[in-house]
Structure 1
Amino acid sequence: MKILVTGGAGFIGANFVHTTVEEMPDAEVVVLDKLTYAGNPASLAGLDRVTLIEGDIADPDTVDPLVKDADLVVHFAAESHNDNSLNDPSPFITTNLVGTFVLLEAVRKYGVRYHHISTDEVYGDLELDDPNKFTPTTPYNPSSPYSASKAGSDHLVRAWVRSFGIAATISNCSNNYGPFQHIEKFIPRTVTNLIDGVKPRLYGAGLNVRDWIHVRDHNTAVWAIVNKGEIGKTYLIGADGELNNLQVVQMILEEFGYDKNDFVHVNDRPGHDLRYAIDNSSLLELGWEPQFEDFTAGLHDTVTWYRENEDWWRPQKDAVEAKYAKTGQ
């Protein structure tokens, strides 16, 4: 089986490649990645049966021959940082919308199975006391250029399924954490700050809730959908891991043996969504279950990885902190 993984040098994509190589000894993986700041070839170092190609998913001349040779396309590639989308939305439109269109046209041309990775942020947010969760039929209500561009890409996939009959599935996942996540993100930034003896930063009051899932559990869910999912259907991936940002910071501090209130409040993000929550019932029907049901265990696994892999994240650290310092965060 030959698998084309777009964005496979990024956080979730690289972990997907690791999982695939470990569990599918006959698979060959081709990674197409633009290698922006969020893509790191070191995340794929030492893996057998993996070919990394630097290229842009919005370029048909690059995409077409790779899709032609593939049995499966798993599309992770995306501009995905909310703060960056507020500063400059244009790369999000090009990559998330135009790039998805180019892939869909190639998939249509060659009749290749396609799985589209998306986010729960397309649904907007929920009130903190809302008893409901996001479902596949929740109306889209994106609140940032990032989530709006991902919502648009989801709609493109559905249109290509209905209009052209491509064999595609979609998954919308909650917030991931784990190895190989860029240190601009909340959990790895907090962890690496503490490794450096710097107090963690917390946006606003820290009451915003996310439904956390370990990246390995996300990727085993993707394989469950690819192997057992119904063509044209959307599956929500989550592990019932609702915690607010304050709780997460305090748990990380406790993991390091520090006082749980030893953090610094910083300016909140504009339009910061209140709460995400996933109803994963359709996924559970496929027989999937998470390995890291306990967030504390998953967090310990993550902290251990960052402690043991400083050579992976250290070259990025100064630039990330300098960027946040300019915004008071």
Structure 2
Amino acid sequence: MKDMIDNLNLKILRIRFFTEQHIRMKYWIGAVLRNRFLYVAESVYVNETMSLRRIIETLPLSEEHFMFRQLQEGFPKGFLFDCSDLPYDGSGFVLRPNTIYCFSLILIGKLITYQASFLEAISRMINDGFGHPMVSLELVDVTEGDLCVLPDLILKENRFETLELVFKTPVSLMHLPKGKGSGFQNKLNNFPSFYQFMRSLMYRVVTLGILYSDGISFENRKEMDEWIEEYIAPSMKAVLLQANLCYEKRYSTPKVGETSVYSMAGYTGRLIFGKVHSDYLPLLSALSPLGVGSDVNYGLGTFRVSYRSGY
């Protein structure tokens, strides 16, 4: 398990751009980035026969793997955009002329080897631009961060800290029950508890490790579930000290020939928890670029953490 996480490295590329014309769109800017990028990635080839989009959307597991059946209908992709610093006003976004804007591209594990192809797609996407009609953008620069290596997943000292958790774009950790439902999670009114946050985050990082690292995997689903539950058990001791949350919706761009759009929702705002196991803190800081919850590849699930000694 430690080897698997050790091999799950992250690469963060910071992209700055501007427009010479006013651009207004009534969609979530994270969805615009995601959809435009995938469109361009179809025409970027990493070799004579394989496009970047095909690599992104090909499940990197054999049919014999215990996770194959679950993930073949949809799996977490090995890249995402952090658009939390781009403008959004509740009904869409506006890009103003000659203002420099920034977003980040995060590459995960094995997909780091395709960095040059990702940058080519980004360059084409920026050149093509956004809007209706399309307005070309101008690329300022791309800043390459250091390779991020995740810390050990080992709980050592039994110390506790106070954690501030900020949801910068909507975070959805659970789905509202469609029926009565008998599970405990269906009775939590959709509230993002620290336990549910840790559970969602660990399933995400473990799944990404299985998909995009060369490290050790679990033998079966039962072993994976038991390990995660044991690791996050101390999160149940956390105490909610303060909450300031807002439930918000975001809307994707329409598909060609369709009038309805894909909608997403989650909580933005701040949570403060006491009695958080201290060994979780460096892990949460390192994992924050990965996002958490639903629709991460549309720019949702962005979070940041800070902590202090105390309660």
Structures share fold, TM-score greater than 0.5: no
Higher-helix-fraction structure: 1
**Per chain length, whose mean CA-contact separation is higher, i.e. which structure has more relative contact order (CA < 8 Å, sep 6+)?**
2
Which of the pair is proportionally richer in strand?
Answer: 2
* Higher gyration radius (CA): 2
TM-score by length of 1: 0.23
